[in-house]
Amino acid sequence: MQVVKKKGTLEATISKTLTQWEKDFLGRGSVSVKTDIIRDMIIVTLKGVLTPAEYALCQKDEGRLSIKKIRCELVESGRDLLGELIQELVGEEVITFHTDISTKTGERLMVFRLANDIEKTLDS
């Protein structure tokens, strides 16, 4: 796969790829996805990640902690594949990956830290 050089196009491609990964790996995708490339980081915001049943469970502390733990473990189990997908798209090694989910808003953030600053190599 050839690495895309336009920033907006690459961000859209990453969003589309992660949406497909969610559907294939987790069984369903988020409602919306927004990707931002900033220096050596790719920040992905996924909205509408939780199901109605998960929202209901999140009304109590123990349910909220359980949902965060399970969702974190699910994404962590696909961490290697996520890193490979990002590396293939941007042409840079993923050094670290961080993620968290808000049980209040149903929003997940993913941050991929790359070996090099790719933003300066991209066209606006």
The residue-averaged pLDDT of 31-38 equals: 96
The residue-averaged pLDDT of 30-50 equals: 95
48: left (phi over 0), alpha (psi -120 to 50) or beta: left
Read off the pTM: 0.89
* Cα–Cα distance, 23 to 44 (Å, whole number): 16
pLDDT digits (tens, 9 = 90+) for 60-111: 999 999 998 998 898 888 889 999 999 999 999 999 999 999 998 989 999 9
**CB burial string 14-28: b at 16+ within 10 A, e below:** bbebbbebbeeeeee
Q: Answer yes or no: is pLDDT of 1 > 70.
A: no
| Rg of the chain, C-alpha, whole Å | 15
Q: Count the residues in the chain.
A: 124
